[in-house]
Structure 1
Amino acid sequence: MATFSSPKLARLTPLAQLRAGRLPRRLIQLFVGLTLFGLAMAGFVRSGLGLAPWDVLHYGVTLHTGLSLGTVVILFGFLVLLLWIPLRQMPGLGTIANVIWIGVAADIGLAVIPQADSLPTQLALFAGSLLVNGFGGGLYIGSQLGPGPRDGLMTGLHARTGVSLRLARTGVEVSVLAIGWLLGGIVGFGTLLYAVAIGPVTQLFLRFCIVELRAEHPAEEAPTPAA
């Protein structure tokens, strides 16, 4: 009879992720988490208080191309995956689902969430979106089916260049934030609040969302995810 490890994130190859057990439960959790993550992205846009660094870039591109936010999120997801090739990163099922489904959910959210028209409404919508974002992130990370493309880019840079994970994350996110701001993306108080709060919020939910896998797979402590 198979035994299960304590709830920690495991170091798994893409194939091992699929063989690690409890796949139906993990797939459901993955797509629920990605859906919530995309809806939260739309909530941040409708709050008007600021977006996460990558979403500042995504939104700035929508202003100049006429593409929907979700479409831009999907396109950039695939572009980031191309950067995985020289970094020798292998995407898992969850990575591919992340690229596609978050963008779809974001466009659905923008279609149903109204624009906040007063400061109390903006604050409430932003705070709610932050919690939903953290919960969604905890769910999809905890499903252990592969990191998101942007998270994988940062960990790949860390692994291949020796640059600290913190420096890799900061460098990438500052760069995309600056480009997005120049393109007209929404930067505001919420951008700073997101940068400070999303790690602890996601970590809070993640401890309850990690699906236990078979004990033969080596595990590591759950890291704070990138936005």
Structure 2
Amino acid sequence: MSSASPIYKFIRLFFGLFLYSVGIVMTINANLGLAPWDVFHKGLSTTFGITMGQASIAVGFMIVIIAFFLGERIGWGTVFNMYFIGYFIDILMLNNLIPIFDSFIPSLIMMLGGMFVIGCATVAYIGAELGSGPRDGLMIALTKRTNKSVRFIRNTIEICALSIGYLLGGTLGIGTVIMSLCIGYFVQFAFKLLKFDVTKIHHRYIDEDIIFLKKRFATSEK
């Protein structure tokens, strides 16, 4: 994958980010309760009168800053993930491009489908090798700093996001429980189905591009 052209990587990245947004909106429009981070986004949306997408962007921006000061490296994929997932969510939701279901069975199917789409989108955007998303970056940074397990750190972060979001007016439901317990399995299933080995991924970070450009300009000036 590392030998792929930059154009291919960016196309794959943006396809993955758009697909991820589709999966998120499917779980939201299933109307069975929001995923932990979306409970937080909904709480911010309700409190400050902004859209879900704008809340996602704001949270992503804050997380990128925190992760950076904790020593986590940032890729172009991290920055674009921070902005464009929220942007795509707003496009999909404000234009009603994905239906909303009220009956339990169609809603459940929609939510399960959304989790599978998120799994496939994760393969697409991580496979671009341009850096992990802000929330994954924060999880990695805290894991390194605390020497706690990934599972403990991830659960702690999501419980905090869920609790704060609920206090701010976010929506909980049976879907919140299902997604909290099952999203990892759907992502893992997508990885296996698409034969994606995350251990073979080698991300390229922004600082590497800055160093490369400095060397390039220094060479051209001689």
Q: TM above 0.5, one fold? A: yes
Does the aligned pair in 1 maintain the 2:20–2:121 contact within 8 Å?
A: yes
Give the structure 1 partner of residue 49 of structure 2: 66
Offset at 1:210?
A: 4.4
Instruction: Report the Cα distance in structure 2 between the residues aligned to 1:71 and 1:101, rounded to whole angstroms.
Output: 10
Alignment deviations for residues 168-192 of structure 1 (CA, whole Å, 9 cap, x no partner): 1111111111111112212111112
Q: Does 1:220 align with 2:199?
A: yes
Q: Percent identity?
A: 36
- TM-score when normalising by structure 1: 0.80
Aligned counterpart for 2:90 among listed residues 107, 116, 126:
107
Taking a change above 3 Å as real, the CA distance of residues 167 and 176 of structure 1, as seen in their structure-2 partners, is same
Does the aligned pair in 2 maintain the 1:61–1:183 contact within 8 Å?
A: yes
Higher helix share: 2
Give the structure 2 partner of residue 14 of structure 1: none
Does the aligned pair in 2 maintain the 1:60–1:180 contact within 8 Å?
A: yes
- TM-score when normalising by structure 2: 0.82
Instruction: Report the Cα distance in structure 1 between the residues aligned to 2:170 and 2:195, rounded to whole angstroms.
Output: 32
Q: Which has the larger radius of gyration?
A: 2
Alignment deviations for residues 29-74 of structure 1 (CA, whole Å, 9 cap, x no partner): 2111110111221122211112221111001111111111111101
Taking a change above 3 Å as real, the CA distance of residues 27 and 86 of structure 1, as seen in their structure-2 partners, is same
Contiguous gaps of at least 5 residues in structure 2: 202-222
Does the aligned pair in 2 maintain the 1:141–1:206 contact within 8 Å?
A: no
Code of the aligned partner of 2:108: L
Give the structure 2 partner of residue 13 of structure 1: none
Aligned counterpart for 2:12 among listed residues 13, 29, 42:
29
Instruction: Report the Cα distance in structure 1 between the residues aligned to 2:157 and 2:63, rounded to whole angstroms.
Output: 11
Counting matched residue pairs gives 197
Offset at 1:86?
A: 2.5
Aligned counterpart for 2:160 among listed residues 175, 186, 197:
175
Does the aligned pair in 2 maintain the 1:57–1:181 contact within 8 Å?
A: yes
Contiguous gaps of at least 5 residues in structure 1: 5-19, 212-218, 223-227
Offset at 1:155?
A: 0.6
Q: Does 1:129 align with 2:114?
A: yes
Instruction: Report the Cα distance in structure 2 between the residues aligned to 1:138 and 1:155, rounded to whole angstroms.
Output: 18
Give the structure 1 partner of residue 32 of structure 2: 49
Instruction: Report the Cα distance in structure 1 between the residues aligned to 2:180 and 2:34, rounded to whole angstroms.
Output: 9
Instruction: Report the Cα distance in structure 1 between the residues aligned to 2:188 and 2:17, rounded to whole angstroms.
Output: 16
Give the structure 1 partner of residue 75 of structure 2: 92
Instruction: Report the Cα distance in structure 2 between the residues aligned to 1:48 and 1:139, rounded to whole angstroms.
Output: 26
